[in-house]
Amino acid sequence: MRRLCVVLLMLCALPAWADGFDQLYKAAGWQQQRAHFNDALKAAQQRYSANLPPAVFQALVNNSNQRFAPQAVDQRAEQRLRESLKDPAPALQFFQSPLGRKIVEAELTATRADQLARHTQGLPVIGADATRQLLIGHLAQALPAKQAGAEVSLALAGVAADSLSQMIPGLLGGGQAQGMLEGQRERLMTQIEADLHNTLLYVYRDLSNPELEEFASFAESAEGRAYYQAALAAIRAGLAVGQSNSSLVQ
């Protein structure tokens, strides 16, 4: 679960949109984050290969590849983002600023495959003074990090549920598997929240206190809230949380 917190900042692995959305996509580093997610997914598949019967492993790979096919994820996420975010300009201006670029670089570094492998047992504990802890607390409240982490977990668990249903037909039918997963959202957010402050301290460790304050101010602003709420909605749609693989077949 702690590793998921590190990956939270890939939570907006969104498509290449036209116009201002396209510029926002590029400025915020979503293309690279999507590549990082794909790398992490492939690594997870390889770990399972040694522990699952071949038929079960193949079903898991097939289902995950279908659910997380880049083009399909892009189409679902793009549609939801355009429905949810009225104006990309404020977020674009922020992420094109020197601070925005520094934030994106910190997030991309945190989600690289080598960094995830390095911290499989959890992140180091980061010390911080009272001011920095307060600023991180503001970010933890403003960023939808725990919510996004829960959606990622539910999407990945949904692949496993679909694979189990395929191997044992009728065991979890009629959407029962996805319904069971939906009930785990609050529990997952609680687990992620326990490590969230330290995760944010680690990811943004190279930002100064004034930079953290400016970041928090954007995230807490009306424009920042609109952006992060839209990003969370797009992530949930892109990862098809709560949907079975069969429902995704066009």
Domain-located, residue 250: no
* Predicted TM-score of the model (pTM): 0.83
At 194 the pLDDT is 92
Buried b (16+ CB within 10 A) or exposed e, 238-248: bbbbbbbbeee
What lies within 8 Å, CB to CB, of 171 at 6+ separation is 164, 165
Helix ranges restricted to H, the chain: 2-7, 19-27, 30-49, 54-67, 70-84, 89-95, 98-110, 113-118, 130-142, 145-167, 176-182, 185-203, 209-220, 222-238, 245-248
pLDDT in tens, 33-83: 777 877 888 887 887 787 878 887 888 888 888 888 888 887 787 788 888
Domain-located, residue 175: yes
Give the whole-angstrom CA distance, residue 109 versus residue 103.
10
The boundaries of the domain holding residue 9 are 2-244
Domain-located, residue 137: yes
At 3 the pLDDT is 55
For the chain, 250 residues long, give each residue's pLDDT as a single digit of tens.
555 555 554 544 444 444 788 888 788 887 787 778 778 888 878 877 878 788 878 888 888 888 888 888 877 877 888 889 999 999 999 999 999 999 999 999 998 989 988 998 899 999 999 999 999 999 999 999 999 888 888 887 777 766 666 665 554 454 555 566 667 888 899 999 999 999 999 999 999 999 999 999 999 999 999 999 998 998 898 888 877 666 675 5
Domain-located, residue 68: yes
User: How many beta carbons lie within 10 A of that of residue 130, not counting itself?
Assistant: 7
The number of domains in the chain is 1
At 12 the pLDDT is 46
- DSSP letter for 123, please: P
At 13 the pLDDT is 44
Give the whole-angstrom CA distance, residue 120 versus residue 140.
22
Could you give the C-alpha distances from 75 to 70, 182, 196, in angstroms and in order? Answer: 9, 23, 30
CA angle 194, 159, 165 (to 5 degrees): 125
Length of the chain: 250
Alpha carbon dihedral 26, 28, 31, 36, in 10-degree steps, equals 160
At 166 the pLDDT is 62
At 16 the pLDDT is 40
**Residue 23 near residue 172, CB atoms below 8 Å:** no
**Residue 235 near residue 12, CB atoms below 8 Å:** yes
Domain-located, residue 198: yes
Crossing angle for the helix pair 70-84 and 30-49, to the nearest 10 degrees:
140
Give the whole-angstrom CA distance, residue 250 versus residue 248.
6
H/E run at residue 11? none
At 24 the pLDDT is 85
**Residue 154 near residue 241, CB atoms below 8 Å:** yes
Domain-located, residue 249: no
Considering only CA atoms, which of 76, 79, 41, 77 is closest in space to residue 60? 41
